[in-house]
Amino acid sequence: VANLKLSITKTDDPNLAISGDVWVQNAPDDAQPLVTNVIARASAGSRFVLDHGKYTFRFNVDAGTGKFTLQVERADGSATIATRPYDTADAVRGRTLRFEVT
């Protein structure tokens, strides 16, 4: 079991806000998300606990524009699990961050 933290690490827009859920990768159609209401802003992130496995954080950009970077790391800061740049110009809905907890 891993304590994880999801946060926005780079953004020029202080109003940027995202929200979404964490799903098991390749989940069947009738599956439910493992973690819901995961919210991150420029100034604050979310913490949650997951077992080992492959996951997808599916999220929407609720406010703000521009480029930003999303990161999942261990809550104690010991390791970065996944990080990825995004641009709201590409899309605001249906964004994803895939990551694996080992």
Partner 1 sequence: VKRLLLPLLACARLAWAAPSPSPATYFGRPFVVLPEVELSASTDNAAEVRIGFELRNGLGKHANVWDFSFIPELSTSTRSGISSLFSSSSETPVGNPWYLGASFAFTKISSRTSRASLDGVYQKAFAACAAHCGHSPLPPDQQSFCELAFPGGKRSPRPADIDPSEYCAETRDAIKRANDDFRQSSEAQAIARERLFPVHDFSFGARAGAAQEHFLDPQPPGSMTFVERNQVAALGSAALSYTWVQPHAASSQTVEAFATYDYRWDASETKAHWCHPAGDVMRPGQPPATDPAQICADLPLGVERNSHVTMAVLWGMVDKDTPSFWRASFGPRVEVVANSGETHLGLLAPLYLNFVALGVKEPNYQGLIRLSPRVGAMHDSVHGWSYDVSVDIALLGRRNLFERALDRLR
**Those residues with Cβ within 8 angstroms of residue 77's Cβ, 6 or more apart along the chain or in another chain:** none
Distance CA 14, CA 3 (A): 26
Binders of partner 1 among residues 55 to 74 (CB under 8 A) are: 56, 58
Size of the site for partner 1 (CB under 8 A): 19
Binders of partner 1 among residues 29 to 48 (CB under 8 A) are: 29
Among the residue ranges 4-12, 37-45, 73-81, 94-102, the one whose residues contact partner 1 (CB under 8 A) = 94-102
The DSSP line for 34-102 is SEEEEEEESS--EEEEE-SEEEEEEEEEEE--SEEEEEEEETTSS-EEEEEEEETTT-SSSEEEEEEE-
Residue 23 binds partner 1 (CB under 8 A): yes
Q: How far is the CB of 88 from partner 1 (least distance, A)?
A: 8
Residue 96 binds partner 1 (CB under 8 A): yes
Is there a contact between 97 and 70 (Cβ–Cβ < 8 Å)? Answer: yes
Among the residue ranges 7-15, 38-46, 71-79, 91-99, the one whose residues contact partner 1 (CB under 8 A) = 91-99
Where do contacts with partner 1 occur on this chain (CB under 8 A)?
A: 23, 25-27, 29, 56, 58, 86-87, 89-98
